[in-house]
């Protein structure tokens, strides 16, 4: 009997961790493991806002997959997934087809603009390494343009950020660090640069308690970030956002949308039943009605039965999905019972720049300022270590002094 083929789609947190765990739990004789990814590198999704702001180099946020996953143990395919043919147990790639016995879909997210007119055409997105690097280059270009222009238009220096969730707030936090550096570099008065965050909800970061949210808003405002909360974006144009009942135009030279994400469009293309772009998986992380297909990471809604809603789609959740998924694939191969996913909430941390942040950790302990910023680096370094071991941690780890 031929050994089973396990195919993992996507090399984000969930896909990389699943691959690593399977290589630890199964010998080469027990299963063939294939990892498919669009690029030959994995990137730290939770660092993309720093790449976009220019506070870290894009190479720090990415790691060559073959430096972490042994290509002699795992077959690495760099190609784009087009569709999953569930009936014939095949994955349709841009350049080939791939059969599977067990499939793990961990294709990550794409930006969701919620149908806001003009957002797709005129805004930039913190979606991957390339898009984030483009934002960084665009921001610096606006400073150069302003510096060299005879007719100074301060709108060119305005950075408009839509959305006040994790990505939006962490991005403006990094901009609060980067803008003074750019002003010094190009000899521009800091007062000419505006960073404006627009959010339809009445506050920011709804996953945190009010006292931490108030701290975050005050900290960012002290460093020059302006908030327009409770402000609906009606339209995005090449000039900026049109907002509110009076259709006010907020002009900007840089427009970034961070207001939402959804699962990979491959899910819908492949005939999975989706809710808001994701698959609501069974408790063992399999797609409903499928014996051998798992959906994890940003592609999955994993229900928190106690709360009656899905667990938040965080990096720690994705890596925990991977542990359960790998265990269950091994169980299927050996005809053992499957386990249900149990989320171990290790806390929530948001950075507000290099030396500032807010956090709620085990037992409900709240942190703000430098202790929270330190905790954020601990969380990031732990993820690096889990995926790539000591070598990846030493190469990429955030051991930045305060």
Structure tokens at 308: 């009656």
Task: Please give the sequence-ordered ranges of beta strands (E in DSSP) within 177-302, or none if there are none.
Answer: 194-199, 225-229, 233-236, 240-243, 248-251, 254-257, 261-263, 279-280, 293-295, 300-301
Neighbours of 61 (CB within 10 A): 21
| Catalytic residue of the set 50, 170, 174, 199 | 170
- Give the Cα separation of 350 and 257 in Å (integer): 18
Sign of the CA dihedral running 374, 379, 380, 385: positive
DSSP assignment string, 334-351: TTPPP--------EEEEE
Estimate the crossing angle of helix 166-186 against helix 210-222, to 10 degrees: 20
- Establish whether 170 is a catalytic residue: yes
Contact 240, 250 (CB under 8 A): yes
Per DSSP, the three-state class of 227 is strand
Best CA proximity match to 157, nearest among 134, 130, 180, 131: 180
What is the DSSP pairing of strand 309-310 with strand 158-162? unpaired
- Give the Cα separation of 376 and 116 in Å (integer): 32
Alpha-carbon distances of 277 from 111, 122, 304, 335, rounded to whole Å: 11, 23, 18, 32
CA-based end-to-end distance of the chain: 58
Sign of the CA dihedral running 293, 295, 299, 301: positive
- Give the Cα separation of 350 and 170 in Å (integer): 7
Structure tokens at 80: 């784009």
Which residues are known to be catalytic?
170
């Amino acid at each position: 009997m031929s050994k089973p083929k396990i195919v993992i789609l996507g090399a984000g947190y969930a896909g990389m961790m699943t691959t690593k765990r399977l290589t630890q739990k199964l010998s080469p004789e027990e299963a063939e493991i294939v990892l498919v990814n669009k690029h030959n590198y994995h990137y730290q999704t939770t660092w993309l806002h720093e790449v976009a702001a220019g506070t870290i180099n894009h190479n720090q946020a990415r790691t060559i997959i073959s430096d972490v996953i042994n290509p002699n143990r795992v077959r690495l395919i760099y190609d784009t997934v087009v569709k999953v043919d569930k009936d014939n147990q095949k994955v349709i790639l841009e350049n080939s087809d791939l059969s599977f016995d067990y499939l793990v879909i961990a294709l990550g997210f794409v930006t969701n603009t919620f149908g806001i007119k003009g957002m797709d055409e005129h805004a930039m997105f913190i979606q991957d390494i390339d898009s984030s690097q483009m934002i960084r280059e665009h921001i610096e270009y606006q400073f150069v343009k302003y510096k060299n222009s005879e007719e100074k238009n301060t709108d060119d220096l305005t950075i408009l950020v839509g959305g006040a969730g994790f990505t939006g707030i962490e991005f403006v936090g990094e901009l609060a660090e980067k803008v003074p550096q750019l002003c010094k570099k190009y000899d521009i008065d800091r007062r000419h640069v505006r960073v404006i965050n627009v959010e339809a909800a009445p506050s920011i970061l709804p996953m945190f308690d009010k006292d931490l949210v108030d701290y975050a808003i005050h900290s960012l405002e002290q460093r020059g970030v302006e908030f327009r909360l409770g402000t609906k974006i009606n339209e995005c144009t090449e000039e900026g956002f049109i907002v509110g009942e009076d259709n006010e135009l907020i002009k900007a030279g840089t427009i970034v949308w961070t207001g939402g994400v959804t699962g990979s469009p491959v899910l819908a293309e492949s005939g999975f039943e989706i809710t808001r772009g994701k698959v609501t998986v069974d408790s063992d992380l399999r797609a409903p009605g499928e014996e051998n297909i798992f959906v994890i990471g940003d592609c999955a809604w994993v229900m928190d039965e106690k709360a009656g809603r899905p667990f938040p789609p965080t990096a720690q959740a994705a890596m925990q999905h991977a542990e359960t998924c790998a265990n269950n694939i091994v169980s299927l191969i050996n005809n053992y019972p499957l386990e249900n996913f149990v989320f171990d909430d290790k806390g929530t941390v948001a950075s507000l720049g290099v030396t500032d942040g807010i956090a709620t950790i085990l037992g409900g302990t709240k942190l703000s300022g430098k202790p929270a910023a330190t905790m954020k680096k601990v969380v990031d370094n732990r993820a690096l270590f889990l995926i790539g071991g000591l070598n990846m941690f030493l190469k990429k780890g955030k051991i930045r002094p305060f």
